[in-house]
């Protein structure tokens, strides 16, 4: 989360604080603002923070918060387009579907980053990642293989990589 | 309008319940049972029993599916021949189930008029305990003995599960819960969701004192998160002989019993609380119980030891 | 307004309930599981509608629990897998 | 003002109902397992999203409004992962019998 990702140990401290504060915020959302509940909220947020650090160690790389936000802000709009797309196909009497699986080669290395990208893909209109082939290309199930799916995915990938701090230098 | 909603709910529940029985494939039956659990949660919500609805959402949505589908996977090698029980046994089981069902229906359909209720008595004495959720007050103050025995039963159940292990493996690790095929999606979920789940689980426990929620709901959510981590292979099931683990299993019931015994000296008798201190004592017992429930449920799904203990 | 929201909750119940046909038809366990997923999302929608319409914020926690555990049934599906091939040969 | 907010609620919640309808129709009509998964994830997630959006002005306080948004976010995460898990399961042959 921190801007200086060079030294992971130094970056980890503000990252941990940010996580702790986010969990505390979530606690506040769950239970309401009454300060008395902090008795349980502080240890709960600390425990959640510890679990999160164990399962998801601080990244050694820089994240661009603004670019990540740009990806997240697009989600509701994408969700709308995706839903309209499905609704149009489902409700039309002719049911226009040309389903098929497209292989999409991604530069995102396997691991958490790619898994996050796949989760994002599954929320995009008309695409659903269903696995990977032997060469590590993503297999994307599409409602309509005639659409320029790979082009659209490449655009999304570029946006996503700007968020994880790798977009600018490839 | 509300009659129509009730009819729809009854129809859906009956569909799911009948299909659970009729489905030929065991896994199909489990899926129908999961659906039934979700529907029951909605029914409890409709009946304004929010505590029960929460329990059903947590147990039905999280735990039942895991327990039963794991059982399916374990049963397959045992029943590979696929022989159905004989006709006579089938008929006998059917008749017995029908009798039990009819008795239950008779009891439920013929309540005395007006239905007996202790609700006004509970409402009249709420202030003595200092909590605002009547369900928690009943569970941990007026009927504390039932609640205590319920938790002890859980411990006994776990001992029963553990006892299935061959002598050689006693104290060892349960079989891994790892998914048959590793999945990046599962790993992603298991890295992101558990911290949020831990927070929500604790919230359900803490909130249970004054609002719907409580130990069982929170404990189940915590157990589900732990199981998710184990299934994604981010952590192995612990050795069943580990002392720390066994302490966690025992801490809830033990604290409950200790508080109960202390009642002899400090209040009117077993499981009665000293006046003025009911709330903090109940909250402490709830926290310890939630911890124990989470660990016990997780260990029950993990199953008996399947490996020799490490040297 | 509350009337409208309660009616909306009833409609969501009917719509997701219709999805149970998928549980009956299958043909595969994956298809049947979709009925459960649909009911999870629909149940969450029903709970938020009822919570706001009836001014019962406690009901929001039901939606929260359903949402948190939404993926669990699908996760559990992978548990039953080692036997899936054997299963096919059996019938 | 309150009338305008009520109108907003009615429009958004009705939109949500429409997408639940579309999702169910897709789940029942679409020809194969993977295609049906699209209907499930996309239409229903949007349906819930619109209902949450519509309910925001009706919330008694800001905390419950934020809780609604948290519920929506959790459903998005659950939908994104559950659909992939079911898809992987179906593709491995777990779907067929």
- The tens digit of pLDDT for each residue in B79-123 reads 555 566 788 988 999 899 999 999 999 988 887 777 777 788 777
**Chain D residues closer than 8 Å to A37 by CB:** none
Provide the domain count of chain B. 3
Question: In this complex, which chains have at least 3 CB pairs below 8 Å with chain D?
Answer: A, B, C
Which residue of chain D has the CA closest to C88?
A: D97
Q: Give the pLDDT confidence score for residue A1 in this predicted structure.
A: 38
Nearest to A128 among D34, D46, D76 (CB): D34
Q: Give the pLDDT confidence score for residue B196 in this predicted structure.
A: 94
pLDDT of residue C47 exceeding 80 = yes
Please, where are the H alpha helices in chain A?
Answer: 8-31, 38-55, 65-91, 112-121, 149-163
What is the rounded CA–CA span in Å between residue A66 and residue B87?
68
B63 & B141 share domain: no
Q: Give the pLDDT confidence score for residue B215 in this predicted structure.
A: 85
The more confident residue out of B262 and C12 is C12
Determine the average pLDDT of the residues in B277-300: 87
Averaged pLDDT of chain B:
84
Q: Give the pLDDT confidence score for residue B194 in this predicted structure.
A: 93
pLDDT of residue C86 exceeding 60 = no
Residue with tokens 């939404």: C70
What is the rounded CA–CA span in Å between residue D75 and residue A132?
25
Question: Which of 20-79 (C) contact D at CB < 8 A?
Answer: 21-22, 27-31, 33-35, 37-38, 40-42, 44-45, 48-49, 51-52, 55, 57, 60, 63-64, 67-71, 73-75, 77-78
What is the rounded CA–CA span in Å between residue A125 and residue A103?
17
Nearest Cα neighbor of A128 from D49, D40, C74 is D40
Judged by a CB distance cut-off of 8 A, whether residue C2 touches chain B is no
Return phi, psi of residue D24, to 5°.
Answer: -65, -45
Q: Are B86 and B246 in contact (CB under 8 A)?
A: no
Determine the average pLDDT of the residues in A117-135: 85
Write the DSSP assignment of B165-209 as a string of letters.
S-GGGTTSPBPP---SS--HHHHHHHHHHHHHHHHHHHHHHHHTT
* Each residue's pLDDT tens digit, B145-199: 888 888 889 899 999 998 888 888 888 888 887 776 778 888 889 999 999 999 9
Structural domain range at position B33 = 1-78
Determine the average pLDDT of the residues in B208-231: 86
Return phi, psi of residue C27, to 5°.
Answer: -85, -20
- Which residues lie closer than 8 Å to A116 by C-beta, 6 or more apart? A160, B188
SS3 per-residue string spanning D4-70 = HHHHHHHHHHHHHHHHHHHHHHHHHHCCCHHHHHHHHHHHHHHHHHHHHHHHHHHCCCHHHHHHHHH
What is the rounded CA–CA span in Å between residue B37 and residue B31?
10
pLDDT of residue B129 exceeding 80 = no
Q: Domain spans of chain A? A: 8-55, 65-163
DSSP state at residue A144: B
Averaged pLDDT of chain C:
83
Q: How many residues in chain D? A: 97
CB atoms within 10 A of CB D13: 29
Q: Give the pLDDT confidence score for residue B43 in this predicted structure.
A: 93
Complex prediction ipTM: 0.88
Nearest to D16 among C40, C45, C57 (CB): C45
B152 & B274 share domain: yes
* Each residue's pLDDT tens digit, A31-82: 888 888 888 889 999 999 999 988 888 766 666 777 778 888 888 888 899 8
């Amino acid at each position: 989360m921190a801007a200086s990702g060079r030294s992971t140990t130094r970056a980890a401290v503000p990252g941990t604080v940010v996580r702790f504060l986010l969990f505390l915020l979530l606690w506040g959302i769950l239970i309401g603002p009454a300060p008395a509940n902090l008795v349980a909220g502080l240890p709960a947020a600390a425990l959640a923070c510890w679990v999160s650090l164990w399962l998801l160690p601080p990244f050694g790389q820089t994240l661009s918060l603004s670019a990540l936000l740009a990806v997240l802000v697009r989600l509701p709009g994408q969700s709308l387009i995706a839903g309209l797309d499905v609704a149009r196909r489902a409700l039309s009497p002719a049911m226009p579907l040309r389903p098929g699986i497209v292989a999409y080669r991604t530069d995102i290395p396997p691991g958490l980053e790619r898994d996050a990208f796949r989760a994002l893909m599954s929320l995009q209109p008309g695409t659903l990642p269903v696995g990977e082939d032997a060469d590590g290309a993503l297999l994307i199930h599409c409602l309509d293989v005639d659409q320029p799916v790979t082009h659209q995915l490449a655009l999304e990938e570029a946006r996503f990589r700007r968020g994880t701090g790798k977009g600018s230098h490839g | 309008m509300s009659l129509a909603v009730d009819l729809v709910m009854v129809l859906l529940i009956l569909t799911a319940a009948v299909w659970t029985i009729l489905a030929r494939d065991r896994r199909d039956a489990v899926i129908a049972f999961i659906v039934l659990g979700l529907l029951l949660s909605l029914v409890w919500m409709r009946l304004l029993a929010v505590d029960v609805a929460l329990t059903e959402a947590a147990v039905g949505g999280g735990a039942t599916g895991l327990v039963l589908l794991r059982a399916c996977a374990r049963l397959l090698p045992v029943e590979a021949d696929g022989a159905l029980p004989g006709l006579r046994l089938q008929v006998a089981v059917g008749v017995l189930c029908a009798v039990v069902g009819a008795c239950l229906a008779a009891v439920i359909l013929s309540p005395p008029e007006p239905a007996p209720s202790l609700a006004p008595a509970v409402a009249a004495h709420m202030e003595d305990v200092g909590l605002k959720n009547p369900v928690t007050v009943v569970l941990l103050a007026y009927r504390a003995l039932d609640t205590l025995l319920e938790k002890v039963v859980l411990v006994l159940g776990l001992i029963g599960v553990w006892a299935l292990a061959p002598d050689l493996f006693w104290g060892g690790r349960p079989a891994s819960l790892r998914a048959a095929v590793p999945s990046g999606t599962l790993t992603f979920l298991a890295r992101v969701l558990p911290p949020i789940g831990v927070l929500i689980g604790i919230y359900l426990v803490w909130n249970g004192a004054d609002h719907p929620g409580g130990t069982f709901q929170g404990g189940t959510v915590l157990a589900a998160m732990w199981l998710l981590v184990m299934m994604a292979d981010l952590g192995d099931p612990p050795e069943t002989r580990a002392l720390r683990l066994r302490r966690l299993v025992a801490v809830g019931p033990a604290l409950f019993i200790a508080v109960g015994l202390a009642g002899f000296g400090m209040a009117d008798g077993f499981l009665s609380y000293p006046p003025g201190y009911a709330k903090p004592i109940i909250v402490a017992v709830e926290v310890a119980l939630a911890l124990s429930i989470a660990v016990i449920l997780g260990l029950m799904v993990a199953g008996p030891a399947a490996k020799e203990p490490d040297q | 307004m509350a009337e409208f929201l309660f009616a909306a909750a009833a409609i969501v119940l009917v719509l997701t309930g219709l999805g149970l046909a998928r549980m009956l038809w299958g043909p595969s366990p994956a298809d049947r599981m979709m009925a459960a997923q649909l009911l999870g999302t629909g149940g969450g929608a029903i709970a938020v509608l009822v919570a706001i319409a009836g001014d019962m914020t406690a009901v929001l926690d039901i939606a929260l629990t359903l949402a948190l555990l939404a993926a669990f049934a699908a996760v559990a599906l992978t548990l039953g897998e080692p036997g899936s091939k054997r299963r096919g040969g059996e019938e | 003002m309150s009338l305008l907010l009520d109108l907003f609620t009615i429009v958004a919640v009705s939109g949500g109902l429409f997408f639940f309808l579309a999702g169910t129709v897709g789940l029942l009509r679409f020809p194969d397992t993977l295609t049906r998964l699209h209907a499930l994830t996309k239409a229903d997630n949007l349906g819930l999203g619109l209902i949450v959006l519509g309910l925001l002005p009706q919330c008694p306080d800001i905390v419950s409004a934020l809780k609604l948004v948290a519920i929506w976010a959790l459903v998005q995460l659950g939908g994104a992962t559950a659909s992939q898990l079911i898809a992987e399961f179906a593709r491995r042959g777990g779907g067929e019998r």
